[in-house]
Amino acid sequence: MKRARAPRGRPRRMPARSRPYRSALIRDEGSTWSAPPSTTMRLLLSGGLIAPMVFVGGFLAQGAIQPGYNPWTDYVSDLSLSADGWMQVASFIICGWLLLGFSAALCQLAETRAAPGWAPVVFGVMGFGLIAAGAFQIDPTTARLTLHGELHYVASFVIAGSLGLAALLAWRDLRHLGRNPALASYCLATGFVVVTLFTASLLAPSVASPGLLERLALLAGSAWVVVYAQRLRRTLSVNRHEFERNLVAA
């Protein structure tokens, strides 16, 4: 009886869509090395780092120097009502486009299971929310609510909701993997803090400092986005070095 021959060549790799998802926040020691991200992808991923820092730095600086503006009681969007309001509008739109680029890079990573499928969707919605917040100006507190003012409030809900949702979904993924409990706890805390503080800023009267509550929510959410983007870039950088070493050794 003839013995069956073993198939020649390398074994076929499992299709990307059939492989289990590996969290981009954690380096998978057992995964096989693959080609490093392109320069374009690395630049797009940088948007996840730059956008939160530009956004937070912008409204903190403007709030400190704008006459008559009270960061404790006035919302961030109220900065767009002054003579220099174009700076806050530009901040909304520029940061929104940066997050859309970040989302585009995550979409490519999600195709190979290097990032979760929810990431490009949630960060893309976040980017569109920022652009909409810049396109539709908020109404003054004493003025009658207009259509563009209502759309601005909707955009604000989208921004805060997507920030909190992204952190909670990242917590779910990390808990499912059962690794890095400290990072998982940070994601969970961020999600609840963002949603709770932003909701409180809308319901609280002026004496309860709604502007401060909104700022704390945005600071917590923006810091989390920076951490997420930085860990993602670090993970891809490690994979790139492993790829180069394996390429030389091959």
51-80 burial, b for 16+ CB within 10 Å, e for fewer? bbebbbebbeebbeebeebebebbbbbbbb
- Mapping DSSP onto H, E and C, the string for 82-105 reads CCCCHHHHHHHHHHHHHHHHHHHH
What tens digit of pLDDT does each residue of 53-92 get?
Answer: 999 999 999 998 888 899 998 999 999 998 888 999 999 9
Cα 165 to Cα 224: distance, rounded to the nearest angstrom: 12
Report the distance separating Cα 112 and Cα 92, nearest Å: 31
How many other β-carbons are positioned within 10 Å of the β-carbon of residue 85?
17
pLDDT in tens, the chain (250 residues): 555 554 555 445 444 444 444 455 544 444 433 455 677 888 899 999 999 999 999 999 999 888 889 999 899 999 999 888 899 999 999 999 999 999 999 998 888 877 889 999 999 999 999 999 999 999 887 778 889 889 999 999 999 999 999 999 999 999 988 878 999 999 999 999 999 999 999 887 766 789 999 999 999 999 999 999 998 888 776 555 443 444 334 4
The DSSP H or E segment spanning 149 is helix 147-177
Three-class secondary structure assignment of 165-191:
HHHHHHHHHHHHHCCCHHHHHHHHHHH
Helix axes 86-111, 118-135, angle to 10 degrees: 160
Integer Cα distance of 106 and 116 in angstroms: 8
Q: How much is the pTM?
A: 0.80
pLDDT of residue 99: 97
